Chains A and B, each alone.
Chain A
């Protein structure tokens, strides 16, 4: 399986390639010259300490942050991402660290926000949205008392699940997950793990940001390490070990090298 993935990566062109991504916030350099390729059917674990720039990088891909400098190719074509609609139209879905749900709307309305189904007169087709929402949640094994419950009435984990379901809806080409395991119980964690593998089997490119190294190593093909806004390491499947990744995150191996 590991060798398979490696072969796939060699033969298949990336869905999306980002080069020389620079993002500043005032004096803060959140991203410095970051490159990344996202391949179909590959799960990338994006790790790094707090403030390393992981969320910022995902927000560049999803159009929330507009970087000062970047070269982006999508399916071989050079593109610019200038708003949050462009990535949605390209088939990029994101689960944000802060979930980005509307508390005052119900689950169905949140799932379909921005891509509501309407009939030919522009009237919302509530029933169709509700059916699809149920199917999607059922498929993901998410348990809710009602898909018409307000999101403010859900538990933290259920909210997380709704945000993830939102990203799964439709047929995304790339799914970005920022801390999808936070708030989740043991069973739900396992489910998210399965979901990620399911996406991979559907040839979706997945980027998972997580501080939970053990969980994320179980599903990823490649680990990318950010440190203080820079990409400091990229480790593929066979070489992934906790020690090595931790060393890259904290930067201790550079010290060791310097010491030697």
Chain B
């Protein structure tokens, strides 16, 4: 994003011109980090389109976009946890239980939508708070604590649904998230507002850079990002428009991604999360509360998991004792890793998570479309994940700048 800044040379350096291969590796390890996953996505899309042209039909692309929302949102929550070097295995159970709380409040108790929704998010945050408190207070490994949490929450789900094994949400307002499609005019207004925000923020960066005498170009800093997002947005909306339009859940996923992109790159909290993944002791010595920062991340991700659960319930139009979907969790972790996150923390960016979710989602959707068996899909998804991680390790190790 800041090519300008990167190329500034403070003073003389004796540099041996790296060879071509090395330079490619370095670029892949640096500014072009996202290229492999974009490439993978393009390849997947091309193959599926050749096998079945319906893959790129507006109808299927709309379906695909709605399908990845649940996984994408869960992956956002997981990414927050991965970033500071932890893992949350309770996310699937946590989102199922949170959604069930909403269903009980709204359907069984007849409370209004907003109460059920708030209770759902609050419950998710509470789960995150409890698990995060245990992890940070006792220095316990999150992997194990959240595995315990997952079992306990699955038990809680059975308890909550012990009378009826499922609660139907059909025709209830809790399903708005996936049933509403935005009219074209409204989706364009939303796009305009989003682009205006982006323009405002990038212009602010630009004028700050000017004020501090840093070399910046208006085109690179403001114009290209804004125009790029505007163009991309128009393309997406025009495709969606050919079917039913933009689904509310998809809009919420993108909005959530944008909000977290801002938090992670533009706020102190975000930098501290990255720093924690790099060297927690350095963060502690810098006078930052490691416990509180990690705890906050657990609480926020808990709320995000609950939201993912709400979306899942809305799409399935019900919550049930079998709502805990471990494959969604695995796919979400895979999405994070494909998008550049590392299980040891401190790496990746949130848009990579979206790309990762698109890869996993496209595979599921496309395999189904071409009538492949589930086993084929699972094997291929597994292989792609392994190849992606191996490729990443290869790039990191081959780039000379790695210590």
By a beta-carbon cutoff of 8 Å, the part of chain A in contact with chain B is 62-64, 83-85, 87-89, 94, 96, 100-105, 109, 113-116, 118-119, 122-128, 130-131, 134, 137-138, 143-150, 152-153
Contacts and interface: CB of A to CB of B under 8 A. Distances in A.
Given A122-B268, A138-B10, A114 B274 contact: no
3 smallest CB-CB distances across A and B, nearest first, come from: A114-B286, A102-B278, A85-B287
Contacts of A104: 274-275, 277-278, 346-347
A124 B271 contact: yes
Given A88-B287, A100-B285, A105 B211 contact: no
B108 interface: no
B7 A146 contact: yes
A115 B26 CA distance: 31
B281 interface: yes
B275 A94 contact: no
A146 B347 CA distance: 20
Interface stretch (B95-103, B109-117, B118-126, B202-210): B202-210
A116 B278 contact: no
B12 interface: yes
Given A84-B284, A115-B286, A122-B267, 4 more contacts: A85-B289, A113-B286, A148-B2, A152-B401
A102 B282 contact: yes
A140 to B, nearest CB: 11
Contacts of A127: 205, 208-209, 211-212, 214
Nearest to B262: A123
B403 A100 contact: no
A102 B287 contact: no
Interface residues of B, number: 44
B266 interface: yes
Nearest to A117: B268
B177 to A, nearest CB: 29
A124 B277 contact: no
B171 interface: no
B258 to A, nearest CB: 14
Contacts of A85: 287-289
Contacts of A149: 6
A125 B346 CA distance: 21
A116 B268 contact: yes
B283 A102 contact: yes
Interface string B322-350: 00000000000000000000000011000
A126 B281 contact: no
A84 B10 contact: no
Contacts of B272: 113
B211 A113 contact: no
A145 B10 contact: yes
B285 A96 contact: yes
A146 B6 contact: yes
Nearest to B342: A104
A101 B283 CA distance: 8
A203 to B, nearest CB: 23
Contacts of B2: 148
30 contacts: A83-B287, A84-B284, A85-B289, A87-B287, A88-B286, A89-B287, A94-B285, A102-B279, A102-B283, A103-B279, A105-B275, A109-B274, A113-B271, A113-B272, A116-B271, A122-B268, A123-B201, A123-B204, A123-B267, A127-B211, A127-B212, A127-B214, A134-B10, A137-B10, A146-B5, A146-B7, A147-B8, A147-B10, A148-B8, A150-B401
